[in-house]
Structure 1
Amino acid sequence: MPFFIPLGIPDFNGKKERDFFQFTYNIEDNDAIELLIQIRDGKNVIYEETISNVSKLTQGEHIWQWDGFDNNGILDTAKLTQAKSLNFYATGKDTDGNIDRSSTDFEANYDKVEWVDVKIDKTASRIDVTLRVNLKDGGEKGTDKECYELGKSRNAPIVKICPWDKIPEKEIKKYGKTPIMSRVKSFEILKEMALDGINTHWSRRYTNTFGTIISDKNWEIIVNAIQDENGMKTPEIEYITNGKPGRSRNWEFSRILYYNIGYLDFSDWYNIKSDWRWRNESFAVPIFQETSAHEIGHEILLAYGGHSYSKKHKGTSTLLQSENGGLKYPKDEIDLMKYYDEEYVADFNKVVASEKDVLSLLWLTKLELK
């Protein structure tokens, strides 16, 4: 069966895909003097074109191609895949005044994934991407929910033990902050933060990039991630404080996204005995949002470029996640999906998915035509 890719975005290896729907029509008996071709959903016209080229009005079989855009210059894959009755409809009039009509039904179904739609506005040079994800609640660690009492069974004084008790007193004095005892951000809040992070770092706006070039034309691409239980496989979100921070990940056997806040023991990260640090919300929020976009990105890269491209961070790490090293943060755009030598980026606004990776979202809306 033939396929269609919006704007003909190339596959991972650079092979350009077909960017048109192709239909045939047959003119019998007399030549036509008028021919109106329509793409319709039932009786609703999506696009129409009057054929004026005389060579296309002669007797015989002819080919007609459609780029997928409607009469308003909009290509909307959601509308095409959700249409109830797509049809190619032709109305012709011959030299004797006879009028003939013909209709060919067809379907357009997603071939690669079911969790992304694109809406392309040719006039505005803008592409809107709807990305459906299924974020789940992974609970919390280090809060008062983990407190317990000792001494009840031994008739001894009851002692309440809580996660923050293990924080060295000198560290609390050093930072001057009271440990977080109960979570201050619900799952709903963290979910919205994660969605905002995806939108921010996967969109290629004119305000944070130089745009995105497709066939010598500069486009602005806006991603809108939405919660959908039937969406992309995504991590659970877990709230962590007063303990070892979690390392977020998103692969087939383990999907978890950590929001690390407050007092955190980084000793395992740096192979030292004790390394308690205080993480402010002003840093916890942007690093969580950037991490959310990065981890969700692994599923996108996997669908587009395969396991190596995704798990090796586009060649900047091993499969076991060890950094290859040697890559410094650039002055302009910082690739969201690569590993760099520096631990944290100074300006999260510079972190954005690359042109190729964002355009992969368009490629993933590949349509199979029946």
Structure 2
Amino acid sequence: MSRTRIVKGTYTKISAKGHSMYSSESIITTASNFVTEEGIEKGLSIGLPKSAPKLEYTDEPDFDIELELIEKDFVPLGIPDYKGNPENDKIQFELTVTGAGINQWHLTIKNGKDILYESFSASGELEEVIITAKSKNPKAKSNNPKVTTPVVIKRYWPAGKYILSWTGFNKNGIYDSTILKSEKGLTVSIVGQAEFKKKTFTIDQPIKFTHKEVDWVDVRIDKINKKIDTTLRVNLKDGGTEGLSSWDKISKEALSFYNKPPIKIQERTYANLEKLALQGINQFWSRNSSNVGKGVSIASDKYEVFIHSKADNNGLSAPSIIYQTNIEAGRSRNFEASRKLFFYEGYLYRDSWKKSNPSSVFYKNKGWIYRSENINEEKNVLLNLPSLVEDFKMVSAHEIGHEILLAYGGQIYSKGHNGTTTWINLITQDVNDDAPYIPTDGEIDLMKYYQDYYDISRTIITEFDLLKLIWLSKIKIL
């Protein structure tokens, strides 16, 4: 600690008895005129320095500190729940100060040996605590009626209880739910100081957190760069194949028209289909500058959100992926009684051909069409068919999204397609008669049904649904 004293006039120091100065380094005296040292008896003495006397602050008021974790659930950035109720956005500790109080404190949170976060007390909370000075000789009597003299000690944090808050972000502005949920936990300690006294208190056991809602999502939030990376663990399964041996049912007319051989062996491995499904989740559940969503608004800030999904046997419930060809394409779904996600290609059958125009190619081919990643092979027999692979990726994101919506919004919200499937249609999953057409511009809701088919390039998860996925990373104290 350094001290500088500036006096614009004359500075005079008078001691009734002796006056001594000690320094562990140099004592420098500089004057623009003379420096005069005088003594009546022995005068000026220059010799070896003497050690400074040991100073004891026996009259300095004492204190004690304790720190306790307040048990509350925690959501990063305080993202509201499904019903819009605000959430606690801080991890809180109760600091108890006893005795004469402290002037400052220093909170440290460590992840192992690494300092995750530090916080220092602010000097703005200045209060005065009046301490009564005691006589050094209590037996001494005096004719003076004054018994004691009040000494004013400035303690910024007097005795009492204080709430110290931590937003969960580290010193670099990063929040990572996986660090908070680590098995070893976090070590929390606080140092209190007043004048020349310093005391440290460490919470006896590392504080540990776990998931409150689900265990298949984690988030990493970069508050400085306004970026949220969300890890989503998905329990996809291999559902095998259907139709490989049914190639002989394809109409002769269709085989002649397309001039393509039927698929008799699985041409895409499960690993390849699983990869496409995960890519679909990442693509349609992300909102950032690379797509129509741009980002999400949290308080007054705009964050880009990137989804990173990965296969995990302990992840959220997801469909079995089934490879189909040479049969009528199945309808993908994801509810408790049936979880199926179909990837189909090659020759596919549609029973609706019987009601089509008899002069159409579709009718003449007896309902058989050919789907391929190569659009030129499909020959546009049916109009407005989306890209085979992009359609599968979008359907994957939609079907897996049902389980996400279920986790925070419940059954009706998950299966209701944002109000476009209701009552009896909840079972059949048909589109309501009053469902809207896709908007002419802007976003198309991934989880909503429309009267007409999607424009995949504008299809994306809504900001509301994505924020609730992040909300699902809510944690609690063990």
Which residue in 1 is equivalent to 2:264?
Answer: 181
Which residue in 2 is equivalent to 1:157?
Answer: none
Which residue in 1 is equivalent to 2:188?
Answer: 88
2:176 counterpart of 1:76: yes
Alignment of 1:214-225 (within 5 A): 214-225=298-309
CA distance in 1, matches of 2:335, 2:326: 26
2:280 counterpart of 1:197: yes
> Deviations 1:135-169 (Å, cap 9, x if unpaired)?
111111122xx3xxxxxxxxxxxxxxxx1111111
RMSD: 1.8
Deviation (angstroms), 1:57: 2.4
* Larger relative helix fraction: 1
* Greater displacement, 267-276 / 172-181: 267-276
Deviation (angstroms), 1:205: 1.4
SS in 1 for 2:181: helix
* Partner AA of 1:281 in structure 2: E
Alignment of 1:118-157 (within 5 A): 118-143=219-244, 146=245
Which residue in 2 is equivalent to 1:356?
Answer: 464
Deviation (angstroms), 1:312: 1.0
Q: Do the aligned residues in 1 keep the contact of 2:210 with 2:477 (CA within 8 Å)?
A: yes
Name the TM-score, length of structure 1 as normaliser.
0.90
Change (3 A) 1:271 1:28: farther
CA distance in 1, matches of 2:339, 2:373: 24
Deviation (angstroms), 1:24: 0.7
| Unmatched segments (≥5 aa) in structure 1 | 147-162
CA distance in 2, matches of 1:237, 1:268: 25
CA distance in 2, matches of 1:78, 1:210: 26
> Deviations 1:106-135 (Å, cap 9, x if unpaired)?
221101100000000001100000000111
Deviation (angstroms), 1:182: 1.6
Q: Do the aligned residues in 2 keep the contact of 1:92 with 1:100 (CA within 8 Å)?
A: yes
Q: Do the aligned residues in 1 keep the contact of 2:353 with 2:367 (CA within 8 Å)?
A: no
Deviation (angstroms), 1:58: 2.5
Q: Do the aligned residues in 2 keep the contact of 1:237 with 1:257 (CA within 8 Å)?
A: yes
CA distance in 2, matches of 1:92, 1:270: 84
* Partner AA of 2:288 in structure 1: R
SS in 2 for 1:194: helix
CA distance in 1, matches of 2:190, 2:352: 69
Percent of residue pairs bearing the same amino acid type:
40
Of 331, 334, 339, which aligns to 1:247?
A: 331
CA distance in 2, matches of 1:260, 1:275: 16
Q: Do the aligned residues in 1 keep the contact of 2:185 with 2:209 (CA within 8 Å)?
A: no
Q: Do the aligned residues in 2 keep the contact of 1:308 with 1:314 (CA within 8 Å)?
A: no
SS in 2 for 1:243: coil
CA distance in 2, matches of 1:268, 1:191: 30
SS in 1 for 2:418: helix
* Partner AA of 1:189 in structure 2: N
* Partner AA of 1:183 in structure 2: Q
SS in 1 for 2:103: strand
Of 372, 390, 394, which aligns to 1:286?
A: 390
CA distance in 2, matches of 1:126, 1:270: 52
CA distance in 1, matches of 2:432, 2:355: 19
CA distance in 1, matches of 2:297, 2:238: 38
Deviation (angstroms), 1:304: 0.9
Q: Larger radius of gyration, structure 1 or 2?
A: 2
Name the TM-score, length of structure 2 as normaliser.
0.70
Q: Do the aligned residues in 1 keep the contact of 2:236 with 2:274 (CA within 8 Å)?
A: yes
2:254 counterpart of 1:171: yes
Change (3 A) 1:186 1:218: same
Of 400, 413, 422, which aligns to 1:309?
A: 413
Deviation (angstroms), 1:271: 7.3
Q: Do the aligned residues in 2 keep the contact of 1:41 with 1:83 (CA within 8 Å)?
A: no
Q: Do the aligned residues in 2 keep the contact of 1:91 with 1:101 (CA within 8 Å)?
A: yes
2:124 counterpart of 1:45: no
| Unmatched segments (≥5 aa) in structure 2 | 1-70, 126-155, 357-362, 375-386
* Greater displacement, 312-321 / 173-182: 173-182
* Partner AA of 2:404 in structure 1: I
CA distance in 1, matches of 2:335, 2:116: 40
Deviation (angstroms), 1:299: 0.5
2:451 counterpart of 1:345: no
* Greater displacement, 66-75 / 102-111: 102-111
Alignment of 1:28-43 (within 5 A): 28-43=98-113
* Greater displacement, 50-59 / 126-135: 50-59
2:368 counterpart of 1:262: no
SS in 2 for 1:229: coil
Q: Do the aligned residues in 2 keep the contact of 1:24 with 1:64 (CA within 8 Å)?
A: yes
Deviation (angstroms), 1:181: 2.0
> Deviations 1:196-238 (Å, cap 9, x if unpaired)?
1110011111121232111021110000001111111111100
* Partner AA of 2:303 in structure 1: W
Which residue in 2 is equivalent to 1:156?
Answer: none
> Deviations 1:68-124 (Å, cap 9, x if unpaired)?
1001100000110114132331111112x1111112242211011000000000011
CA distance in 2, matches of 1:211, 1:137: 33
CA distance in 1, matches of 2:93, 2:391: 50
CA distance in 2, matches of 1:275, 1:9: 50
Of 85, 89, 107, which aligns to 2:208?
A: 107
SS in 2 for 1:314: coil
CA distance in 1, matches of 2:352, 2:323: 19
CA distance in 2, matches of 1:85, 1:120: 20
* Greater displacement, 244-253 / 173-182: 173-182
Runs in 1 of length 4+ with deviation above 6 angstroms? 268-273
> Deviations 1:31-66 (Å, cap 9, x if unpaired)?
322311122234432100111234262221111111
Change (3 A) 1:269 1:44: farther
Which residue in 2 is equivalent to 1:232?
Answer: 316
Q: Report the count of equivalent residues.
A: 349
